[in-house]
Amino acid sequence: MSSDPLGADAVVTHILVAADPAVSRDFWINVLGAELYREYGGTSVVLRFAGAWLLLVSPGGPTADKPAVTFAPPADPGHVSHAMTVRVADCQAAYDELLARGATFLTPPHDWGGEIRCFLRDPDGHLVELSQAVPGSAKDSPGGAQT
Note the CATH number of domain 1-61. 3.10.180.10
- Residue 47 contacts residue 9 (beta carbons within 8 Å): no
- Residue 128 contacts residue 86 (beta carbons within 8 Å): yes
The reply to whether 75-147 shares the fold of 1-61 is yes
Residue 59: predicted pLDDT: 96
Q: How confident is the model at residue 120 (pLDDT cuts 50, 70, 90)?
A: very high
Q: Quickly name the fold that domain 75-147 has.
A: 2,3-Dihydroxybiphenyl 1,2-Dioxygenase; domain 1 (3.10.180)
Residue 5 makes CB contacts below 8 A (sequence gap 6+) with none
Average pLDDT, the chain: 89
pLDDT at residue 10 is higher than 90: no
In the chain, what are the domain boundaries?
1-61, 75-147
Q: How confident is the model at residue 4 (pLDDT cuts 50, 70, 90)?
A: confident
Residue 145: predicted pLDDT: 47
CA distances from 87 to 17, 109, 118 (A): 23, 13, 11
Give residue-wise pLDDT tens across range 18-53: 999 999 999 999 999 999 999 998 899 999 999 999
- Averaged over 79-86, what is the pLDDT? 91
